[in-house]
Structure 1
Amino acid sequence: MLCDYLQLILTARVYDVAQETPLEVAPSLSTRLNNQLLLKREDMQSVFSFKLRGAYNKMANLTPDLLKQGVIAASAGNHAQGVALGAKKLGTRAIIVMPVTTPQLKVDAVKARGGEVVLHGDTYDDAYAYARQLEVEKGLTFIHPFDDPDVIAGQGTIAMEILRQYQQPIHAIFVAIGGGGLISGIAAYVKRIRPEIKIIGVEPVDADAMRQSLQAGHRVRLPQVGLFADGVAVREVGEETFRLCQQYVDEIILVDTDATCAAIKDVFEDTRSIVEPAGALAIAGAKQYVEREGIEGETLIAIACGANMNFDRLRFVAERAEFGEQREAIFAVKIPETPGSLRKFGESIGRRNLTEFSYRIADEQIAHIFVGVQIQNRAERLKMVEAFEECGFSTVDLTEDELTKLHLRHMVGGRSHLAQNELLYRFEFPERPGALMKFVSSMSPNWNISMFHYRNHGADYGRIVVGMQVPPQEMAEWQAFLDQLGYQYWDESHNPAYKLFLG
Structure 2
Amino acid sequence: MPHRYIKKILSANVYDVAVETPVDPARSLSKRLANNILIKREDLQPIFSFKIRGAYNCISKLTDTQRASGVVCASAGNHAQGVAMSAQHLGIDATIVMPKSTPEIKVNSVRALGAKVILHGDSFAQAFAHSRTLMADLGMVYIHPFDDEHVIAGQGTVAVELLRQVQGNIDVVFVPVGGGGLIAGMSVYIKYLRPDIKIIGVEPEDSCCLKAAMDAGERVILSEVGTFAEGVAVAQIGKLNFELAQQYVDEVITVTTDELCAAIKDIYGDTRAVAEPSGACAVAGLKKYVEREKAQGQTLVAVSTGANLNFDRLRHVAERAEIGEGREAIIAAEIPEQPGSFKRFCTALGERNITEFNYRYGNNTKAQVFVGVTLKTDEGGREPLLKQLASHHITAVDLSNNEMAKSHVRYMVGGHASVDNEVVYRFTFPERPGALLKFLNKLGQLWNISMFHYRNHGSAYGRVLVAMQVRPEDKVKFEGYLDELGYAFNEETDNPAYQLFLAPE
> Shorter-normalised TM-score: what interval?
over 0.9
2:102 alignment partner in structure 1: 102
Deviation at 1:436, TM superposition (A): 1.2
2:392 alignment partner in structure 1: 391
RMSD: 1.2
Q: 5+ residue gaps in structure 2?
A: none
Q: Distance in 2 between matches of 1:29 and 1:354?
A: 26
Mapping for residues 384-423 of structure 1, pairs under 5 Å: 384-417=385-418, 419-423=419-423
Q: Match of 1:379, SS?
A: coil
CA displacement, residues 421-454 of structure 1 (integer Å, 9 cap, x when unaligned): 0011111111111111211211252311110001
Mapping for residues 174-253 of structure 1, pairs under 5 Å: 174-253=174-253
Q: Which residue identity is paired with 2:9?
A: I
Q: How many pairs are equivalent?
A: 502
Mapping for residues 11-410 of structure 1, pairs under 5 Å: 11-377=11-377, 379=380, 381-410=382-411
Q: Which residue identity is paired with 1:11?
A: S
Q: Distance in 2 between matches of 1:420 and 1:454?
A: 22
Retained in 1: the 8 A contact 2:331–2:398?
A: yes
Q: Which residue identity is paired with 2:489?
A: Y
Q: Match of 1:9, SS?
A: helix
Q: Which residue identity is paired with 2:414?
A: G
Structure 1 residues 294 and 97, CA gap change in structure 2 (3 angstroms): same
Q: Which residue identity is paired with 1:209?
A: C
Q: Distance in 2 between matches of 1:384 and 1:412?
A: 22
Q: 5+ residue gaps in structure 1?
A: none
Q: Which residue identity is paired with 1:416?
A: A
Retained in 1: the 8 A contact 2:400–2:406?
A: yes
Deviation at 1:478, TM superposition (A): 1.3
Q: Which is further off, 479-488 or 271-280?
A: 479-488
Q: Distance in 2 between matches of 1:367 and 1:9?
A: 63
Q: Distance in 2 between matches of 1:223 and 1:201?
A: 21
CA displacement, residues 287-314 of structure 1 (integer Å, 9 cap, x when unaligned): 0001101111110111000010000000
Q: Which residue identity is paired with 1:245?
A: A
Retained in 2: the 8 A contact 1:421–1:472?
A: yes
Q: Which is further off, 96-105 or 440-449?
A: 440-449
Q: Which residue identity is paired with 1:415?
A: H
Q: Distance in 1 between matches of 2:163 and 2:340?
A: 65
Q: Distance in 1 between matches of 2:256 and 2:358?
A: 27
Q: Distance in 2 between matches of 1:446 and 1:14?
A: 57
Deviation at 1:367, TM superposition (A): 1.7
Deviation at 1:353, TM superposition (A): 2.0
Q: Which is further off, 130-139 or 353-362?
A: 353-362
Q: Distance in 1 between matches of 2:302 and 2:394?
A: 44
Q: Distance in 1 between matches of 2:381 and 2:141?
A: 57
Q: Distance in 2 between matches of 1:175 and 1:116?
A: 31
Q: Which residue identity is paired with 2:295?
A: I
Retained in 2: the 8 A contact 1:451–1:468?
A: yes
Q: Match of 1:214, SS?
A: helix
Retained in 2: the 8 A contact 1:450–1:468?
A: yes
Q: Match of 2:306, SS?
A: coil
Tell me the TM-score normalised to structure 1 length: 0.98
Retained in 2: the 8 A contact 1:204–1:281?
A: yes
Q: Which is further off, 224-233 or 481-490?
A: 481-490
Q: Distance in 2 between matches of 1:337 and 1:75?
A: 54
Q: Distance in 1 between matches of 2:440 and 2:338?
A: 42
Q: Match of 1:442, SS?
A: helix
Deviation at 1:380, TM superposition (A): 5.6
Q: Distance in 2 between matches of 1:105 and 1:499?
A: 39
Q: Match of 1:399, SS?
A: coil
CA displacement, residues 60-104 of structure 1 (integer Å, 9 cap, x when unaligned): 111111112211111000000000110111111011111111111
Q: Distance in 1 between matches of 2:285 and 2:471?
A: 45
CA displacement, residues 4-26 of structure 1 (integer Å, 9 cap, x when unaligned): 00000000000000000001110
Q: Distance in 2 between matches of 1:71 and 1:452?
A: 44
Deviation at 1:153, TM superposition (A): 0.1
Q: Distance in 2 between matches of 1:290 and 1:412?
A: 37
Q: Match of 1:118, SS?
A: strand
Deviation at 1:498, TM superposition (A): 1.1
Retained in 2: the 8 A contact 1:326–1:376?
A: no
Q: Which residue identity is paired with 1:166?
A: V
Q: Distance in 2 between matches of 1:380 and 1:302?
A: 25
Tell me the TM-score normalised to structure 2 length: 0.97
Retained in 1: the 8 A contact 2:413–2:501?
A: no
Q: Which is further off, 482-491 or 232-241?
A: 482-491
Q: Distance in 1 between matches of 2:241 and 2:462?
A: 31
Q: Distance in 1 between matches of 2:229 and 2:53?
A: 21
Q: Distance in 2 between matches of 1:380 and 1:193?
A: 40
